[in-house]
């Protein structure tokens, strides 16, 4: 049986993290992954857009046993308590994914404080709500608040420089996110084969673990991440297309149907995003090149600097269409690894298959290559 330092640190059975998948609701998926023995992560950034994207917000609160008129902190508190209730009997471990970009700092603080408060109100949650996962921003300055409350702190990065900053900030686990990943990706196209070992060499030690994300969907890719020095893997697209996933059926089926060269990069709310390839996303890529070329040149833009907001309007319309099941206007995110996914099993079956294959691959390597 494969067991890594990640399992020991977090208290999970398998060295796998389910990706945060923001801003889209994944409340039920988080429960399923946590109960299957991996780290489940709750998306929270949909709470930031109650008025701009009510279809995302409503899905989050409705599936999380919160009320649509709750304030942000109250809604998240209810979701956290629901998740705890549904995973505690099986020893599941989970945490919220909190975006910490500068423009969201006020909201980020509310999210983290809500998780801290939930554990104070129910100390038993310390056994399940163990992790605080931060993303999409500078980790510096969050350590005292997160680790001071007793959380294991995980931060995701796109580069060695960012990994070094996360280590300096005090993160316990650093996720190296390769450019292959789905939806929010990086301004510079640094892929997993280069990024994983570079981050491991730069920051891994007895106190700092490295997890690899981007392009992981089976035992072969998980074994490769181990060979590159990772303590575990992060998976999003593979879990998106499962029976328990909260994502709309047309989205899940689009992952299954994606073939060779099945994704495209275009604008996506906070920068470059990887979308599943269809007529709608191809049109969006063309418009991105015309109206926001920095997405392809590594030059960040923002809501404040973009002169033409039609790209964002297009994204909102496309995501709304996805939630409504409108295939003609839908635009759906997914990682490059979608082309290697051809089924929609249960979460537990996905994990069992991946772990079995990983063991087989690792056992075979010495015989094939070491004589």
Sequential DSSP letters for 304-328 = TT-S-THHHHHHHHHHHHHHHT-TT
Q: Which residues contact 118 (CB under 8 A, 6 or more apart)?
A: 77, 80, 81, 84, 125, 129
CB 128 within 8 A of CB 95: no
State both tokens at 137. Answer: 């921003």
pLDDT in tens, 49-93: 788 888 888 989 999 999 999 998 999 999 999 999 999 999 999
Q: What is the pLDDT of residue 185?
A: 87
340 falls within a domain = no
Give the CB-side neighbour count of residue 117, counting CA atoms within 13 A: 13
In this prediction, residue 196 carries a pLDDT of 97
Which residues have a Cβ under 8 Å from the Cβ of 283 and sit 6 or more positions away? none
Residue 3's pLDDT is what? 81
For the entire predicted model, the pTM comes to 0.94
The pLDDT assigned to 311 comes to 86
Those residues of the chain that have pLDDT short of 50 are none
Last residue within a domain, chosen from 247, 268, 297: 247
234 and 307 co-located in one domain = no
Domain boundary among 247, 274, 295: 247
Say how many domains are in the chain: 2
Domain hosting 294: range is: 259-333
| 21 φψ region: left (φ > 0), alpha (ψ -120 to 50), beta (else) | left
Q: Give residue 275's pLDDT.
A: 96
Residue 349 forms part of a structural domain = no
The answer as to whether 267 is a domain residue is yes
Nearest to 230 by CA among 25, 7, 57: 7
Question: Which residue, of 247, 277, 311, is where some domain finishes?
Answer: 247
Residue 301 confidence (pLDDT): 66
Residue ranges in 149-298 assigned as alpha helix (H): 160-169, 192-203, 219-227, 237-240, 249-257, 279-291, 294-297
């Amino acid at each position: 049986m494969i067991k890594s330092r990640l399992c020991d640190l977090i208290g999970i059975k398998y060295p796998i993290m389910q990706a945060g998948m923001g801003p889209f609701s994944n409340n039920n998926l988080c429960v399923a992954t946590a109960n299957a023995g991996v780290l489940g992560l709750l998306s929270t950034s949909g709470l930031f857009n109650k008025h701009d994207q009510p279809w995302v917000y409503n899905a989050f609160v409705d599936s999380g046993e919160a009320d649509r008129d709750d304030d942000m902190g109250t809604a998240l508190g209810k979701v956290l308590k629901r998740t705890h209730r549904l995973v505690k009997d099986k020893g599941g471990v989970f945490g919220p994914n909190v975006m910490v970009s500068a423009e969201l700092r006020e909201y980020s603080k509310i999210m983290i404080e809500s998780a801290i408060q939930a554990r104070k109100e129910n100390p038993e949650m310390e056994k399940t709500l163990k992790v605080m996962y931060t993303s999409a921003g500078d980790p510096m300055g969050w350590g005292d608040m997160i680790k001071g409350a007793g959380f294991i702190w995980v931060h995701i990065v796109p580069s060695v420089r960012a990994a070094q900053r996360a280590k300096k900030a005090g993160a316990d686990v650093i996720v190296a996110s390769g450019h292959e990943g789905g939806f929010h990706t990086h301004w510079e196209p640094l892929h997993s084969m280069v990024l994983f070992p570079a981050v491991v060499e730069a920051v891994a030690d007895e106190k700092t673990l490295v997890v690899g994300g981007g392009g992981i969907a089976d035992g072969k890719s998980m074994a490769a991440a181990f060979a590159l020095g990772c303590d575990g893997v992060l998976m999003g697209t593979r879990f998106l297309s499962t029976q328990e996933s909260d994502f709309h059926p047309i989205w899940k089926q689009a992952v299954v149907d994606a073939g060779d060269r099945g994704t495209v990069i275009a604008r996506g709310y906070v920068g470059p995003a990887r979308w599943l390839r269809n007529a709608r996303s191809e049109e969006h890529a063309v418009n991105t090149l015309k109206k926001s070329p920095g997405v392809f040149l590594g030059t960040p833009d923002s809501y404040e600097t973009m002169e033409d907001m039609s790209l964002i309007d297009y994204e909102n319309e496309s995501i709304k269409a996805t939630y409504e099941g409108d295939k003609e206007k839908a635009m759906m995110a997914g990682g490059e690894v979608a082309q290697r996914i051809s089924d929609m099993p249960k979460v537990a079956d996905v994990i069992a298959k991946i772990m079995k294959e990983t063991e087989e691959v690792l056992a075979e390597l010495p015989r094939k290559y070491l004589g």
